[in-house]
Structure 1
Amino acid sequence: MKNEIQIGCSSFNNRFWKGIFYPENLPTSKWFDFYCQHFNTYEFNASFYRFPTVRVLENWYNKAPENFTFSVKAHKEITHIKKFINCEDLIANFYEICKTGLKEKLGAVLFQFPPSYKFSVENLELIIQNLNPEFKNVIEFRHESWWIPEVWDAFLANNISFCSVSYPNLPKTIFTNFPLVYLRFHGIPKLFYSSYDSQELLQIKAEIKSKSGFVYFNNTASEAGILNALEFKE
């Protein structure tokens, strides 16, 4: 994946996209196949709500074409309930399931923390201690206390990527010096709904040019996500 930015969405099963992206007469059972004809990556978010199984991920592996990648979001018990405390076995299990189920189609593993999760030295150390550096680890924060050089330096030293987020009331920094560019467009000002204008997308595209990583559109509560993803891909 050298010097390649892969572009996709954080969901595909979307009735708002019918007639805009999916042909009117295309059955929903064929929607993922159609999505894969236009994009080469998908951010798998279902694993946040339900702990994945090898069988489920193998099914996705078999559905996707060659050279397709999945980034997988860690289960909420890890990031939102236990917040990495006494999580060694749970995280190891999650990694193993992702690796076994998705094989070479596994892209990044995303750990997204809640807005209540603030920076502390202890929290930073917990994150670093718990991550397996054999994987492409990406951390997404929702509290701006994490946007500090101490965190960035520690991540760089441990091969961890800091997620660039487009999210209401968070810094809009586009990080390009981590192992991966990993950018999530959530929608501003209306979370999950708002669209991005062409000028902003062009500016961001220029910033990440010649880098490696993933860009996902999570403003999928309307047709905005797919239209932005198609435009960004152009």
Structure 2
Amino acid sequence: MKNQVLIGCSSFNNRFWRGIFYPDNLSSSRWFEFYCQYFSTYEFNGSFYKFPTVRIFENWYEKTPENFIFSVKAPKEITHIKKFSDCQDRINEFYNVCKTGLKEKLGCILFQFPPSYQFSTEKLHQIISNLDLNFQNVIEFRHESWWNEEVWNAFRENNITFCSVSHPQLPSTIFKDFPLIFIRLHGKPKMFYSSYLPKELLHIKEVIQSKSAFVYFNNTASEAGILNALELKHMLE
């Protein structure tokens, strides 16, 4: 992926989108097929709640168009329960399941840590040592202590992307000097619900155009996510 901007959402099975995005008469079983007519990437979050299998990802691979790209979120077992401690085998298994099932449609692997996970140099080294650097790794932190030069320098040296977030309690910097730009828009001021204004989307467009970027709208507890995704996509066309 070189100088390509991919825009998508972090969920699709959304009743709020019926009549706004999905036609009223379209069966929900065909919603993802419809989504794929408009977007060429999807952030797969189901793997956060349940460790995936190769067969699950093979099914997703088979039902998506050529050149479709998935970003996949690592299981909370790894990031929230074990927090990268004593789980190298499980991390390797996760990488293998993603690569085997999604093949060339695998984009980024997203590791999102909880707000309770605060910065330390020891934790930083633990993260890097557990990652398979042959993958496009993206790390999303939920505690502001990770916004520091030691982290950013270490990530750059190891070809790891620091996730840019739009989140009510976190800095909204869009990071441009990592392997790629990876933005997760969670909704502000009301997380998962709030829409982004046209001027906010225009700012994102100005930053990411002519770059390699993934932009995922996670403000999907309402109709906001899909409308914002369509609007940003239109701005970039």
TM-score, normalised on structure 2? 0.98
Matched, 1:7 2:39: no
> C-alpha deviations, 1:183-206, integer Å up to 9, x for none?
000001111000000001101110
Residue aligning to 1:162: 162
Q: Secondary structure at the residue paired with 2:77?
A: helix
Q: Secondary structure at the residue paired with 1:8?
A: strand
Structure 1 runs of 4+ with >6 Å offset: none
Residue aligning to 2:128: 128
Q: Distance in 2 between matches of 1:47 and 1:169?
A: 25
- CA RMSD, Structure 1 to Structure 2 (Å): 0.5
Q: Distance in 2 between matches of 1:182 and 1:34?
A: 24
Q: Secondary structure at the residue paired with 1:232?
A: helix
Amino acid of the structure 2 residue aligned with 1:78: I
Q: Which runs of 5+ in 1 are unaligned?
A: none
Q: Secondary structure at the residue paired with 1:22?
A: coil
Amino acid of the structure 2 residue aligned with 1:110: L
Residue aligning to 1:59: 59
Q: Distance in 2 between matches of 1:38 and 1:187?
A: 21
Residue aligning to 1:33: 33
Q: Distance in 1 between matches of 2:59 and 2:37?
A: 18
Q: Secondary structure at the residue paired with 2:203?
A: helix
> C-alpha deviations, 1:51-72, integer Å up to 9, x for none?
0000000000001000000000
Q: Secondary structure at the residue paired with 1:139?
A: strand
> C-alpha deviations, 1:106-135, integer Å up to 9, x for none?
000000000000000010000000000110
Q: Distance in 2 between matches of 1:48 and 1:172?
A: 23
Residue 87 of structure 1: how far off its partner (Å): 1.2
Residue aligning to 1:113: 113
Q: Secondary structure at the residue paired with 1:29?
A: helix
Q: Distance in 1 between matches of 2:148 and 2:160?
A: 15
Q: Distance in 1 between matches of 2:69 and 2:63?
A: 12
Amino acid of the structure 2 residue aligned with 1:98: C
Matches within 5 A, 1:1-234: 1-234=1-234
Amino acid of the structure 1 residue aligned with 2:59: N
> C-alpha deviations, 1:23-77, integer Å up to 9, x for none?
0000011101100000000000000000000000000000100000000000001
Q: Distance in 1 between matches of 2:61 and 2:131?
A: 24
Residue 213 of structure 1: how far off its partner (Å): 2.1
Q: How many residues align?
A: 234
Q: Which moved more, 1:223-232 or 1:207-216?
A: 207-216
Q: Distance in 2 between matches of 1:209 and 1:52?
A: 33
Q: Secondary structure at the residue paired with 1:114?
A: coil
Residue 210 of structure 1: how far off its partner (Å): 1.1
Residue 153 of structure 1: how far off its partner (Å): 0.3
Q: Distance in 2 between matches of 1:59 and 1:180?
A: 27
Between the two proteins, what is the percent identity of the paired residues?
Answer: 72
Q: Distance in 1 between matches of 2:86 and 2:159?
A: 22
Residue 180 of structure 1: how far off its partner (Å): 1.2
Q: Secondary structure at the residue paired with 2:125?
A: helix
Q: Distance in 2 between matches of 1:75 and 1:180?
A: 22
Q: Distance in 2 between matches of 1:87 and 1:165?
A: 26
TM-score, normalised on structure 1? 0.99
